[in-house]
Amino acid sequence: MAIAPLLDQALRGALPVRFEAYDGSSTDRADAVATIRIRSREGLARFLSRPGELGVVRAYVSGDIDIEGDLLEVLANGSMLEFGLSSIDPRAAARLVRETGPSVFRSPPPPPEEIRLRGGIHSRSRDANAISHHYDVGNEFYELVLGPSLVYSCAVWTDPAISLEQAQADKLDLVCRKLDLQPGQRLLDVGCGWGSMVLHAAERYGVNAVGITLSAEQAERATKRVHDAGLSDRIDIRVQDYRDVTDGPFDAISSIGMFEHVGRKRMEEYLRDLHALLVPEGRLLNHAISRPGYPQPDTLIGNSRQLARRLANAIGSDHTSKVQSALIERYVFPDGELHEVGVLISMMQENGFEVRHVESLREHYDLTLQRWVRNLEANWDEAVRLVGEGRARVWLLYMAASAVNFRLGGVQIEQVLATRTTDGRSGMPLRPSF
Query: pLDDT in tens for each of the 434 residues of the chain?
Result: 689 998 888 888 877 889 999 999 999 989 888 899 999 989 888 877 776 677 888 889 999 999 888 888 777 765 555 555 556 788 888 888 888 888 888 888 888 888 777 777 778 778 777 777 666 778 999 999 999 999 999 999 999 999 999 999 999 999 999 999 999 999 999 999 999 999 999 999 999 999 999 999 999 999 999 999 999 999 999 999 999 999 999 999 999 999 998 988 899 999 999 999 999 999 999 999 999 975 444 433 344 444 444 444 443 332 222 323 667 777 777 777 888 999 999 999 999 999 999 999 999 999 999 999 999 999 999 999 999 999 999 999 889 988 988 998 889 999 999 999 999 999 999 999 89
Q: What CATH number belongs to 124-419?
A: 3.40.50.150
Q: Tell me if residue 72 falls in helix, strand or coil.
A: helix
Three-class SS state of 383: helix
SS3 189: strand
Domain with CATH 3.40.50.150 in the chain: 124-419
Query: In angstroms, rounded to a whole number, what is the distance separating the alpha carbons of residues 362 and 373?
Result: 17
d(CA 369, CA 367): 6
| Relative orientation angle of helices 41-49 and 90-100, to the nearest 10 degrees | 150
**Nearest Cα residue to 147 out of 169, 119, 125, 179:** 169
**Sequence-ordered list of residues with C-beta below 8 angstroms from that of 228, at least 6 positions apart, any chain:** none
Region of 63 please: left (phi>0), alpha (psi -120 to 50) or beta. left
What DSSP letter does each residue of 140-166 carry, written as one string? HHHHHHH-TT---S----SSTTS-HHH
Cβ 13 vs Cβ 31: under 8 Å: no
C-alpha distance from residue 289 to each of 44, 278, 292 (Å): 35, 23, 10
Its pTM stands at 0.86
Contact assessment for residue 272 and residue 300, using Cβ atoms and an 8 Å cutoff: no
Contact 241, 274 (CB under 8 A): no
